[in-house]
Structure 1
C-alpha cells in the first residue's frame, strides 16, 4: 500500500502485515539505514538493498560513517516506507569484503538495483543484516501487535 486511500479501515491482521512486509522487502530498492558511532553520534542514510528471504544485504564504503559504524558495532535499524506505513527492522550486521561475498549475492543485488558495487570503488564492502526484530504498522490502531518478529523468529 502506498497511499492513505488504500489503507484498510481497521487494523490489519498480523498475517496480513507479515505478507505485506515481505512484499515490501522483495520489491523496494532503497532503505533508510540508522547507525551510531561509539559516542552515540547518529547517522541516517538511504542505501540500496537486496532481501534474500532471510537477510537484508547492503553495500557502502568502509570509510564512511555508516560503514564504520556497522563494522564496529554491527547494530542497525532499517526503515522501509514512510511514517504512515512502515516496516522497521532492528538487526545485526556482519561485514564481508568483495572477496568474501558469494558471487550469487552480488549478482542478485546488482540485478535488482541496476548498480554493482563490485565494479565501483574498491572501498565498497558488503553487510549482511540479520533481522532480530521486525515491526510493521500504519497508524495508532496498529501499534498494538506491531512486532511480527522477535529474537529472529517470526511470531506469526
Structure 2
C-alpha cells in the first residue's frame, strides 16, 4: 500500500510532527548488532522524553548483550509511509535511575514487579531522519551529530 504525499512539509512542520509521533507512538523497532552474534532487531515499547528514547527490557536480553559490546543502535517507527529513523548510542540504566513512573503510566506495566530483572536502555540520538515518500527525501535529516537542524 502506498500513500501519496505530494507536497513536502516545511522543516518546522516536519520536526513538530516527528516529535509528536515520537511522543505518542508506543512501539519502535530496536536494531542492535554484536561482533560475533550479528544483527538483532525487535519491536519494543518506548518512551520519548527530553530528546531521549527510553526502552525497558530484561537485563539478560540479546539487545542488552549487544549494546554492552557496541552501543550503536537504530530505532524505527513502524510505518513505511511516515518514516522516522533514529540512530544513536544506548546505555543500560538501572530501573531506579530511569523514568519508571512515566513508563508505568504510559504502559500500565511496572517492570520492577517482574520476576526477571529488567533495566532501562537510554538512547541518546545522534541522527534523526523523517520523510513521507520521495518528495520529502531532500531535507529528511532533522538531527545531525546530536543537534536539531530545524
- TM-score calculated relative to the size of structure 2: 0.92
SS at match of 2:95: coil
Q: Distance in 1 between matches of 2:41 and 2:137?
A: 23
The runs of 5 or more residues in structure 2 that have no matched partner are: none
- Counterpart of 2:110 in structure 1 is 116
1:81–1:12 CA distance, 2 compared to 1 (3 A): farther
Map 1:20-35 → 2, pairs under 5 A: 20-35=17-32
Match of 1:74 in 2: 71
Give the C-alpha shift of residue 8 in structure 1: 4.1
Matches within 5 A, 1:1-156: 4=3, 8-39=5-36, 41-99=38-96, 101-102=97-98, 105-156=99-150
Q: Distance in 2 between matches of 1:81 and 1:146?
A: 17
Count of residue pairs the alignment pairs up: 149
Where do 5+ consecutive residues of structure 1 fail to align? none
Distance 1:121 1:149 in 2: 38
SS in 2 for 1:82: coil
Deviation at 1:43, TM superposition (A): 0.8
Distance 1:13 1:56 in 2: 25
* TM-score normalised by structure 1 residue count: 0.88
Partners of 2:85 and 2:128 within 8 A in 1? yes
Q: Measure, in 1, the Cα distance between the counterparts of 2:37 and 2:142.
A: 27
